[in-house]
Structure 1
Amino acid sequence: MASVGARTVLVVDDEQSIRELVGGYLRREGYDVVPAASGEEALDVLRGRAVDLVILDVRLPGIDGLETLRRVRRGSSVPVLLLTARAEEPDRIVGLELGADDYVTKPFSPREVVARVRAILRRRDGSLNDDHVAVGAVRIDPGGREVTVDGAPTTLTALEFDLLAALASAPGRVFTRRQLIERVWGWDFYGDERIVDVHIRKLRAALRDPGDAPRIVLTVRGVGYKLAAP
């Protein structure tokens, strides 16, 4: 039985052995685990209770993992960790574009999954500078985790906000991909650094005014990214 205040992780995989393996490791780390064998079952769980993170297999029968993620993102910013096969790079990219926070490839070490879960939740809980940052029409409130464009609230995923907050911690400073990974994904991340590029594209799209694209997140070719100076 999970302890009071334990984080809840929804583990979605059609293979019972994987649900039990991942669930067992998570429970030993103090997490409350809710298993689901299909996308439909996962969506039912999310409609009925709050969870802190979803581990989602891409290859599910019926509603596959990508469609499940698409439906989740219609009304929730809950962090999502994808489980994919090594040969499924297009699915990983699509998943990141749809709003997944991270991915782990099969076969995987359950300890790696636990480490990724811990890192994602640590990002969500991480202390941020409370000072507001305004760049052009964009205003960032790190403490309140809010972003507005011309005064209108803008919806970002947890990871997109963390990426923007990292850049906003030092406007005008250039951050390499590795520096952003260490700040946002955690020092123990060892996946493809192109994950930064995917989320930068999504962040830029979210900050775009209707019919206009303010130059907020800038590319420094051959180096990395920076937030335009206020």
Structure 2
Amino acid sequence: MVYSLLIAEDEEKLRFIVKEFFVKRGFEVWEAADGEEAVHLAEKRDFDLILLDVMMPNMDGFEACRKIRGKKDVPILFLTARTSEEDQLRGFQLEADDYVIKPFSLPVLHARVCALLKRRKGADAGRELRAEGILVNLETREVQVDGEPVSMPPRVYNLLVYLMRNQNRILTRQQILDQVWGEDIFCYDRVVDTTIKKLRHALGDRAGCIRTIVKVGYKFQEEKYE
């Protein structure tokens, strides 16, 4: 499995060194030179892990972490020269997964990254996604609606998983295209609407959980019954 890694670091030389180290170990690495770019990339793609420098121009790592955490559940590891306990506590309060002090050893950083990825993989194994009347087994790719098995084509299943993993968040058609179809595949955004229709049909009486956000996209939100 090839893991995707985002490195957000304003010091170009250090960013290059870290990138080359991880690329040689089989990672797919993306780069950001500041916090704003990191947030933009994290919104467009699903990374397996993000390395965030704290002191960056335009937007610091703490603010970038807060914004990313508001939209994505992804392991985040801070890289920083700030050693105070207060800074470290702030990082963990923002739900960072680890905190590495500069200067650091690349092999140790790699070990920490691998540990986080292993922990996340273990947490994901056999995990289920649940909503009102909907159950998705991520390991077997089986879907149940009100206790009954429902068959879905791969693309429709992937769309359901993406929507449920981002429950209560408004997702644009372009975001859905990028994450479900992939950025390298050219599709008109109307294909999203067509696939949403197929998903709603498959969900039957539970289709109301997929809300249309006019002129924007869609949102998965559980229906509430009195």
- Tell me whether 1:144 sits opposite 2:127 in the alignment: yes
TM superposition shift of 1:92: 1.4
- Structure (1 or 2) with the larger CA radius of gyration: 2
Out of 40, 58, 64, the residue aligned to residue 60 of structure 2 is 64
Give distance in 2, aligned partners of 1:119 and 1:75. 23
Matched to 1:114, the amino acid is H
Contact kept in structure 1, 2:48 and 2:75, CA below 8 Å: yes
Tell me what 1:172 maps to.
none
Task: Within 5 Å, give how 1:156-175 maps onto structure 2.
Answer: none
- C-alpha displacement at 1:145, in angstroms? 5.8
Deviations 1:25-54 (A, max 9, x none): 111110000010001111111122111100
Q: Distance in 2 between matches of 1:96 and 1:63?
A: 18
2:122 to 108, 126, 130: 126
Q: Which deviations, in whole Å up to 9, do the C-alpha atoms of 1:140-171 show, x marking residues without a partner? A: xx8326699xx9xxxxxxxxxxxxxxxxxxxx
| Cα RMSD after superposing both structures | 2.1
Runs of 4+ in structure 1 displaced over 2 angstroms? 86-89, 145-148
Deviation at 1:113, TM superposition (A): 1.1
Corresponding residue for 1:13? Answer: 9
Map of 1:100 onto structure 2: 96
Partner of 1:34: 30
Structure 1, unmatched stretches of 5+, are 129-141, 152-230
* Candidates 51, 55, 60, aligned match of 1:55: 51
User: How far apart in 1 are the matches of 2:117 and 2:19?
Assistant: 17
Relative to the length of structure 1, the TM-score reads: 0.53
Q: Distance in 2 between matches of 1:120 and 1:12?
A: 17
Q: 1:111 aligns with which of 99, 107, 112?
A: 107
1:14 positional shift: 0.2
Q: Secondary structure at the match of 1:75?
A: coil
Partner of 1:174: none
- TM-score w.r.t. length of structure 2: 0.54
Secondary structure (helix, strand or coil) at the match of 1:120 reads helix
Q: Deviations over 1:111-166 (max 9, x none)?
A: 111111100000011278xxxxxxxxxxxxx8326699xx9xxxxxxxxxxxxxxx
Q: Distance in 1 between matches of 2:79 and 2:128?
A: 27
Matched, 1:76 2:72: yes
What SS does the aligned partner of 2:13 have? helix
Q: Secondary structure at the match of 1:126?
A: helix
Query: Does the CA contact (< 8 Å) of 1:15 and 1:37 recur in 2?
Result: yes
Amino acid of the structure 1 residue aligned with 2:127: G
The structure with the largest helix share of the pair is 2
Q: Which runs of 5+ in 2 are unaligned?
A: 133-226
CA spacing shift, 1:62–1:32, aligned 2, 3 Å: same
Identity of aligned residues (%): 41
* C-alpha separation in 2, matches of 1:55 and 1:40: 14
* Matched pairs, number: 132
